[in-house]
Structure 1
Amino acid sequence: MKKLSLICFSISSLFAWSQKVGVKTTSPTETLDINGSLRVRGINLTGTTALKDRIMVFENDGVVKYVTSSAIIRQMPLGFFGLNTASNLVGNGKVANPLGIASLSANTNQALGWDGTKWLPVDQLSSSNWLFVGNSNTTSTNLLGTINDISMSVRSNNTTMLQFGKRNTLNLYDSSNTGLYPYNQQDNSVSYIRGTNGNSSLQFESSTSQSYKPVFFTTSDGNFGFRGSSAGNDWFEVSSSGSSNNGSLQFTIGDNGDEPIIFRKYNKSTDTFVEMMRMQGLGLNNLVRVGINMQGNVANSTLQINGSVTKKVDVINADTTFTEFQHTVFINNSSSITVTLPTASTCKGRIYILKKLSSGTVNITSFVNRNSSNSNVLSAGVTQLQSDGSNWQQIN
């Protein structure tokens, strides 16, 4: 005990006599300069006293100093901060909850983006893009498409099936002087269905259709049409036909041959329909009947008209060559004239009705009169002529 007291007294006296003490060094530079390691056997824990933002560190020359935690963070590379924790970063970024990240004015469904200088709120992809699983937060201002003059393309198997855009943007604009509407409207809005080798179609759902689902279609011959079901099992079609600049327009109705093609009008005041014309086959044969004003009934002849018939009437007094534009002709000439009929073989079945009103001579193309003799002069009264394909025959 005396030895220990002496040592303590000696050290105390040494601290009192010198401002710098060196251990294993003869030239101390600090109050206590240890040329070797330092070990502390016990450290008192802090009690209720508020913590100080101080950390003990060693400088490069071994000097022990206090520094603030923020001073250490400032010396780290820009944009990096190491944090080891098993907890998620939560909170609002305030001092009372320091693990949080402040909102920086970001709204719901917004993220933070770096603009090269600072973090700013940006729209998240899930709130501004269309999702494969669908969008539930769309508004009236949202859109699917382009916001510049570029076509929008819908693909399948990486092949364009549908395009949207202005006609000029889609290269569908006809700038020639003979361009028809709407092909000559460069700003015309177009929904363009693409095809393969000229073939494309637009089909509609129809669960009750048996075989003929409603469809618009094109063909490799340059024809277009639409087909659909009728009464489930029957079908109809309106389409163009032909090839090499030899086209036609076809109306088709069918299955067992007696389905009619009906033209009708609508009366809004009585909410009723009135049939105007009916074209109808008679089974699987070549027989067809057409009726006008039939009120839903099938015509009893090839052509049945429930109403009046008007045919063209002409009056002549000079030489005249007949064509398909004459039917009933009144001849009132004072001097001799000549009437020339078309060649009978070119208009088989055509009928002319001629009535001579004057005493002037009317020379006419040879026809077979009622007595089965050839005649070249028109008699007074009414003469009805019809071509049999070889000759003009008087039939009255």
Structure 2
Amino acid sequence: MKLAAVIGLLLGIAGPNLNPEAQHRFAEESRRSAWDSGIETVHASPNDEVSVGPLEAYQEALAVLRREYAGTVINDKQITKLTYAAIQGALSALNDPFTGFLDPDDWLSMQQTTQGSFEGIGAVLEPFGRDVRVVRPIPGSPAFKAGLKPGDIIFSVGTHDPDTGKLIKTTPTLGTDINTVVKLIKGPRGTKVTVTVLRNGVSNPIRFVIVRQNIEPPVVSYWMEDQDRKIGRIVLNEFNERADSQFERAWNDLKRQGLKALIFDLRFNPGGLFDVAVRIGSRFIEQGPLVIVQEKNGQRHTLYASSRVPKIGDIPLVVLINESSASASEIVAGAIKDHKRGILVGQHTFGKGLVQTIFPLADGSALRLTTSKYFTPSGHDINNKYDEEHRPLFGTGGIKPDIEVEQSPDWVDQQFEDKEHDTQLKKALEVLRTQMTARAR
């Protein structure tokens, strides 16, 4: 999973283990081979019988372009730019919004994000059909303070001069891939960016001028929600590299305070790393299947709850979910529901049952490819169906809550301190108090 603005992808990492010297040699040999192949084929007569595959045709096109093009000088930098664009174009033809190409800057940015910090505005973004939308602004971030809201579609991004702060360029972003949008929004702290969004129910685009800051999103927040009944609450914002250790720290601290029941809040959690989801999910499931993974050849295998992680135990449990709970969140929520380990309260989840794997390439770029899909332990297909514009048809996948509760329109999105209007939280507390009373009899 969660890019710089964290993307809700379920991710694994794969790829060649090349040292820098080998990477350089590999890149040079590949480039030399491409040019040699191209130069050899340009001398062929149209009447010659030559069998040319698409890769050879691409190499030949680059060679002709470099030799004959009368416009911009086609140097090595331009060739790299053209090649990256060609790879991105090829992947976009797959019509998979979660598959894409990461240039070296994008790949570095993603690694920094999964480690927990970055410079930007603090908005979690995701692909939405051919567009990009806001999953949530991180509480306390510049995006949150400016007024971005979940569901906002990124309409355009304005670039400002870093010295004067003057707006110098506006880039339309409808139909633009998420890597490009993230790159436009990110930038050094203290600099400005203009983000214009389309919002449901508002006729005209809304424009925000935001000053970037260093973002260190809280992965886990926790407290005793009901001090008298000892009902604790853990809010998990994403499944990144810090999530499991911070979850364990929160759990241990709540236990020291006398925890007797738990609310596990996965609302607005877009997902993240697959192995982290498995570790955290294993804390709730004593034993048995946790998730079923289907590979590209259709073969399925079952991952079981790990016995190596500390278990939560048999305390009353409610999991809060909503339409922005996705991917890794759905793995954990689905396992808890299928094992009847806790009660799911809230709204139908997003419905992303696909696993992406990152394949690093020799020049520092990477491919992000959908490599498998997953099902809950009972075999439920989480993944949504999509319309012709590749927008998810909500409700065709995802996890249905045991108790469906619409959120109050007066609730301030993601202001978890607003307990007065949080109807889902109120229902969670009601369910747990009822269970605790029944157990005490």
Give the structure with higher Rg (CA).
1
Higher strand share: 1
User: Which TM-score band applies after superposition, normalised by the shorter structure?
Assistant: under 0.3
TM-score with structure 1 setting the length: 0.19
Higher helix share: 2
